[in-house]
């Protein structure tokens, strides 16, 4: 099973930037397979933020972050990044790296993911 380790969370002021990293151990370079990020605030379910097709490089970004966040990957390092610019207080959440079949990502099914990281906290103050 793939293991995922996130880093890069922290506290910033509105308008600031952060870059999250997720290192995968194990084979994630498969067809129809994605890695990406969910986020969750207290009392809410997990929502898809962005994901990337590991063997093709295609990406998806949620409307709420499009134009501000960018997901990318370094396949040599088995690492996925989430560059977060122009952060807003509503971006404050626990961010989780996940990996799973692309169809599960397209459907936004967090319970369909194969692997999860432990999460990294992002706090944006106004």
Both tokens assigned to 92: 């404050």
Strand-strand pairing, 69-74 and 79-84:
antiparallel
Residue 1: the pLDDT is 81
pLDDT tens, position by position, 33-67 = 999 999 999 999 999 999 999 998 999 999 999 99
26 has pLDDT over 90: no
Higher pLDDT, 26 or 92: 92
DSSP state of 66: B
Residue 94: the pLDDT is 98
Q: Give 27's pLDDT tier (boundaries 50, 70, 90).
A: confident
Residue 97: the pLDDT is 98
**Structural contact between residues 66 and 59, judged by C-beta atoms closer than 8 angstroms:** no
Consecutive H or E run containing 102:
helix 102-106
Average pLDDT, the chain: 96
């Amino acid at each position: 099973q793939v293991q995922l380790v996130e880093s890069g969370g922290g506290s910033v002021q509105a308008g600031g930037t952060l870059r999250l990293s997720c290192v995968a151990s194990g084979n994630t370079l498969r067809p129809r397979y994605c890695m990406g990020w969910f986020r969750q605030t207290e009392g809410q379910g997990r929502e898809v933020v962005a994901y990337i097709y590991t063997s093709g490089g295609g990406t998806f970004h949620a409307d709420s972050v499009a134009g501000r966040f960018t997901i990318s990957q370094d396949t040599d390092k088995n690492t996925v990044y989430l560059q977060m610019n122009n952060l807003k207080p509503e971006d404050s959440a626990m961010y989780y790296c996940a990996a799973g079949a692309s169809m599960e990502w397209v459907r936004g099914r967090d319970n369909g993911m194969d692997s999860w990281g432990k999460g990294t906290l992002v706090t944006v103050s106004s």
